[in-house]
Chain A
Amino acid sequence: NAGVTQTPKFRILKIGQSMTLQCAQDMNHNYMYWYRQDPGMGLKLIYYSVGAGITDKGEVPNGYNVSRSTTEDFPLRLELAAPSQTSVYFCASSYPGRDEQYFGPGTRLTVT
């Protein structure tokens, strides 16, 4: 199993541009999550999904959108990028009742 994969690894955006961060998992996990981690800080939940077609907001959803059309994929969309969205983005997944979250390698995003 590849586990949780994310693309791209790095990206530089200009203010106002848009992009989609890709996340996929091959563990048949129902639950998937997007976090952001600012320098020297902890993990903040952006959005989560409990299954295909079901998503909900986390702690810091403003400026982001998600979709979940399949169990495997959970893309995060940034519209009108702002410098405040400069961060490292981690996708994670878990299986209901198992509780352990598996993280992807992260995407380092810089908005200038």
Chain B
Amino acid sequence: GENVEQHPSTLSVQEGDSAVIKCTYSDSASNYFPWYKQELGKRPQLIIDIRSNVGEKKDQRIAVTLNKTAKHFSLHITETQPEDSAVYFCAAINAGGTSYGKLTFGQGTILTVHP
């Protein structure tokens, strides 16, 4: 089955700096890679996703890049703000077929943005 490794486990940055979180996956058939943000005591919420036919996707201050050859994808947050402080999870799936939408999640990264 799929295995997703996420690094770093904790990340501390100053407000305005950039933050990068990296994930690697094992199943070359995986083709959908979402990123979820979970604020303290809240539910995980999708912030951005990318499919395997795209190398990069941006949405305002966040972007995700995908390297299919190396089987890794990354979340980039620019101009970080204190409200970006949260736990971030990456995930991977071979969407379609018999996956039934089952995501394999990384272990999470605790991002702290200091004012």
Could you tell me which A residues sit within 8 Å of B by CB distance?
A: 31, 33, 41-43, 45, 48, 50, 58, 90, 94, 96-97, 99-101, 103-106
Contacts and interface: CB of A to CB of B under 8 A. Distances in A.
Contact of A105 (B32, B34, B43, B103): B43
B43 A100 contact: no
B102 A48 contact: yes
Interface of B is mostly: loop
A74 to B, nearest CB: 13
Contact of B101 (A41, A43, A94, A106): A94
Interface of B: 32, 34, 42-46, 49, 89, 93, 95-96, 100-103, 105-108
Nearest to B51: A99
Given A96-B101, A97-B96, A99-B101, A106 B106 contact: no
Contacts of B96: 97
B100 A50 contact: yes
B89 A48 contact: no
A103 B100 contact: no
B105 A100 contact: no
B43 to A, nearest CB: 4
B97 to A, nearest CB: 11
A33 B107 contact: no
Nearest to B108: A42
A58 B43 contact: no
A106 B93 CA distance: 23
B34 A100 contact: yes
A94 B99 CA distance: 12
